[in-house]
């Protein structure tokens, strides 16, 4: 068990170093921070009486979006690169299980996402402070939830990269994100007594399957609560963490299954 | 004692999904590599050497047949722990320095931090990268990258080393060093399985060889078995003097090979060497050497690949089209 941890963390560290030494990825990170700052400035200019609300909302929104972009781009590219550049020829004959290699890549990406999150959060807090918006502990909880959402999307991106081309993997991962953000809407439609899903059995089955399979990413969005001052409890954050871990295991298990059978030509 | 590698009836067929065409890269290959042997794996481009090696290290699954490596399956963790592998044209995490790269791999081999710190600098010195260990691999020349590849194949002090074209890209000194390194592995009781196109090196090193052509085994055995204990021919190396005649016209000479300007090798039946020598001396040639004629490995490989077109270029074209 501990030997496995050593192997996974060696790969995780290497994945982190790979991202940190890649100019394009570092550029992406810098651009992300820049985007957070500029969106804060612009949103602050637009409205003055609801300024703090907009700042909080817009900041969280852009950070979440950029985290997901980083998750998809890195998740897809870093796995693809190993296969395409054949570094796996060196890694896989070593005494390491293929699922450990995937776990290591995933863990390394979680580290990259955490660093990106901290940098963007720092820019966000700085902008908030410059407008005298008070810091609330729930903001940190909201950021933790953003990180979980990105982690979930990363696990999906790794899964898709284990068999699909980078472009397709990117599209599929984006699909998980977009559908996941709207599963709650579908759920409401399914529960309702009116609307297109009530009388069309095919559409209803598709919608039900979608709700069943896709993660509900709105669980990771608490922007409204933070703005309105509704407390976000630790039990809520904990439940979301479990939900996230469950989906990561689900995608991880699928990726391992594909990967174990895969040949490296 | 059981063998280091057992390959039985190995078949590997690649399907190219777009053209719906099958490529039979390996068509039923069987051989055994004994422990402590240096084993050469030969054949023209596209013969199926790399494909066989990928099966041996678990990157590719056999279509049919069975392989056993160090008594186990290629993907067995215990087997992998005792295996070193150098792929053909290795690619590295080239943003790392060689020390960092070997550190990652050392961790995969379960080496402790202290062990890695002790072993890695020594190893880099051994492959001649002692002076370059603090530069990113990205900035290395081809030959230096090949040396990194050899270093990582030896990191775990493996019992079996599988090397796909270890000499490729190396300068004469590097080649010499790799030859010495492989010989020293054997001296320490390790098994070495390597493919190579540099037949002089194979002749120097290998206890036994297999020759493959277009996926089919053409020959296997020890070098004396394959090359024979000698032939019933003699070769006489002659240096021409100004005005000396065409050596092929000397009585008794069956054929002639040019070696370098002014130097020729005349081949004659064993019983005719004395008259040939006398005639050559009389015609003004200087005799450089007389020896029993032996087949070279190069001649053997070329003769087995004959019919494959010039050096198996046809097969090479397939390889290019498939990638
Ligand atoms: N991924 C692949 N898909 C389809 N065909 C392949 C693939 N890899 C190899 N082949 C085919 O299998 C055959 C054997 O290739 P292989 O790489 O094993 O040859 P080799 O003996 O290593 O040659 P070389 O000396 O050039 O390295 C070739 O005809 C090649 O085209
Ligand atoms: Mg090859």
Candidates B126, B200, B201; CA nearest to B163 is B201
Q: Is A24 on the interface with B (CB under 8 A)?
A: no
pLDDT at B321 over 70: no
Distance CA B96, CA B67 (A): 34
The residue contributing the CA closest to ligand 1 atom 13 is: B25
3-state secondary structure of A213: helix
Question: For A132-178, what is each residue's pLDDT tens digit?
Answer: 778 888 899 999 999 999 999 999 999 999 999 999 999 999 999 99
- Helix intervals (H) in B6-138: 49-56, 77-81, 98-108, 113-126
Q: Model confidence at A191, in pLDDT bands (50, 70, 90)?
A: confident
Nearest ligand 1 atom to the CA of B212 is: 21
Question: For A243-260, what is each residue's pLDDT tens digit?
Answer: 999 999 999 999 999 999
pLDDT at A121 over 70: yes
Distance CA B253, CA B19 (A): 53
With a pLDDT cut of 90, the percent of chain A lying above it is 55
pLDDT at A43 over 90: no
Q: Would you tell me which residues 172-201 of chain B have a C-beta closer than 8 angstroms to some C-beta of chain A?
A: none
Bridge partners of residue B253, in order along the sequence = none
- What is the strand order of the sheet B255-260 is part of? B255-260, B263-269, B233-239, B286-292
- In chain A, the residue whose alpha carbon lies closest to the alpha carbon of B163 is A90
Report whether B252 contacts B272 (CB < 8 A): yes
Q: Which of A16, A90, A92, A103 to mutate to test the interface with B (most CBs of B within 10 A)?
A: A90
Distance CA A109, CA A111 (A): 5
Number of other CB atoms surrounding residue B316 within 10 Å: 15
The residue contributing the CA closest to ligand 1 atom 17 is: B50
What confidence score (pLDDT) does residue A199 get? 77
Contacts of A264 in chain B (CB under 8 A): 54, 59-60
Cα B115 to Cα A113, A241, B121, B132, distances in angstroms: 32, 38, 11, 21
Q: Would you tell me which residues 128-167 of chain A have a C-beta closer than 8 angstroms to some C-beta of chain B?
A: none
Mean pLDDT, chain A, whole residue set: 89
Question: For B94-140, what is each residue's pLDDT tens digit?
Answer: 999 999 999 999 999 999 999 999 999 999 999 999 888 889 999 99
This complex has an ipTM of 0.89
Candidates A162, A189, A140, A191; CA nearest to A254 is A162
Question: For A53-98, what is each residue's pLDDT tens digit?
Answer: 777 888 888 899 999 999 999 999 998 988 888 899 999 999 999 9
Structure tokens at B197: 């196109």
Average pLDDT over residues B15-24: 79
Spatial neighbors of B265 by CB under 8 A, at least 6 apart, are B235, B236, B237, B238, B256, B257, B258, B259
pLDDT at B262 over 60: yes
Candidates B242, B320, B323, B238; CA nearest to B279 is B238
Give the start-to-end residue ranges of the domains of chain A: 2-261
Distance CA B124, CA B99 (A): 8
What confidence score (pLDDT) does residue B245 get? 87
Q: Which of A5, A93, A100, A259 to mutate to test the interface with B (most CBs of B within 10 A)?
A: A93
Distance CA A148, CA A20 (A): 21
User: Residue B192 Cα, ligand 1 centroid: separation in angstroms?
Assistant: 22
CA angle A188, A220, A232 (to 5 degrees): 100
- In chain A, the residue whose alpha carbon lies closest to the alpha carbon of B109 is A95
- Helix intervals (H) in chain B: 49-56, 77-81, 98-108, 113-126, 142-154, 172-187, 199-205, 223-227, 273-282, 297-305, 313-322
CA angle B132, B138, B144 (to 5 degrees): 45
Report whether A157 contacts A247 (CB < 8 A): no
Q: Which residues surround ligand 2, an ion (CB under 5 A)?
A: B 49-50, 88
């Amino acid at each position: 068990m501990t030997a496995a941890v050593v192997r996974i963390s060696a790969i995780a560290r290497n994945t982190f170093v790979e991202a940190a030494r890649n100019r394009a990825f570092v550029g992406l990170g810098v651009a992300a921070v820049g985007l957070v700052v500029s969106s804060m400035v612009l949103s602050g200019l637009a409205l003055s009486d609801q300024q703090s609300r907009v700042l909080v909302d817009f900041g969280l929104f852009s950070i979440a979006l950029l985290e997901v972009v980083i998750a998809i781009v890195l998740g897809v590219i870093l796995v693809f690169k190993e296969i395409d550049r054949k570094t796996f020829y060196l890694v896989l004959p070593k005494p390491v299980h293929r699922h450990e290699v995937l776990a290591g890549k995933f863990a390394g990406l979680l580290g990259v996402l955490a660093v990106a999150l901290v940098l963007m959060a720092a820019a966000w807090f700085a902008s908030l402070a410059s407008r005298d918006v008070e810091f609330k502990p729930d903001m940190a909880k909201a950021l933790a939830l953003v990180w979980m959402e990105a982690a979930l999307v990363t696990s999906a991106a790794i899964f898709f990269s284990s068999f699909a081309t980078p472009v397709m993997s990117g599209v599929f991962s984006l699909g998980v994100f977009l559908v996941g953000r709207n599963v709650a809407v579908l759920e409401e439609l399914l529960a309702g007594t009116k609307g297109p899903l009530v009388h069309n059995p095919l559409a209803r089955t598709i919608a039900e399957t979608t709700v069943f399979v896709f993660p509900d990413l709105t669980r990771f969005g608490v922007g409204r609560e933070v703005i309105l001052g509704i407390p976000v409890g630790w039990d809520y954050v904990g439940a979301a963490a479990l939900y996230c871990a469950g989906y990561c295991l689900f995608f991880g298990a699928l990726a391992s299954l594909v990967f174990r059978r895969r040949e490296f030509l | 004692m059981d063998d280091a590698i057992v390959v039985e009836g190995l078949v590997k067929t690649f399907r190219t999904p777009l053209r719906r065409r099958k490529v039979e890269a390996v068509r039923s290959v069987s051989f055994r590599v004994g422990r402590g042997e240096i084993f050469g794996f030969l054949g023209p481009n596209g013969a199926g050497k790399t494909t066989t090696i990928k099966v041996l290290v678990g990157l590719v699954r056999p279509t049919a047949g069975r392989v056993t490596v160090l008594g186990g399956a290629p993907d067995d963790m215990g087997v992998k722990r005792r295996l070193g592998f150098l792929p053909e044209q290795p690619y590295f995490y080239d943003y790392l320095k060689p020390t960092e790269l070997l550190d990652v791999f050392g961790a995969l081999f379960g080496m402790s931090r202290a062990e890695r710190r002790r072993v890695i600098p020594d190893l880099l010195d051994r492959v001649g990268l002692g002076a370059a260990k603090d530069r990113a691999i990205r900035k290395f020349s081809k030959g230096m990258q090949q040396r990194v590849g050899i270093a990582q194949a030896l990191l775990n002090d493996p019992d079996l080393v599988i090397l796909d074209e270890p000499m490729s890209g190396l300068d004469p000194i590097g080649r010499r060093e790799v030859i010495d390194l492989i010989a020293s592995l054997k001296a320490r009781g390790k098994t070495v399985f390597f493919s190579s196109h540099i037949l002089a090196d194979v002749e120097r090193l290998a206890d036994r060889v297999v020759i493959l052509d277009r996926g089919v085994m053409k020959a296997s055995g020890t070098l004396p078995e394959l090359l024979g204990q000698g032939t019933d021919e003699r070769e006489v190396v002659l240096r021409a003097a100004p005005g000396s005649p065409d050596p092929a016209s000397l009585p008794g000479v069956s054929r002639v090979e040019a070696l370098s300007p002014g130097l020729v090798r005349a081949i004659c039946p064993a019983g005719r060497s004395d008259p040939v020598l006398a005639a050559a001396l009389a015609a003004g040639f200087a005799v450089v050497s007389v020896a029993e004629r032996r087949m070279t490995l190069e001649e053997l490989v070329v003769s087995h690949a004959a019919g494959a077109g010039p050096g198996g270029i046809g097969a090479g074209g397939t390889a290019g089209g498939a990638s």
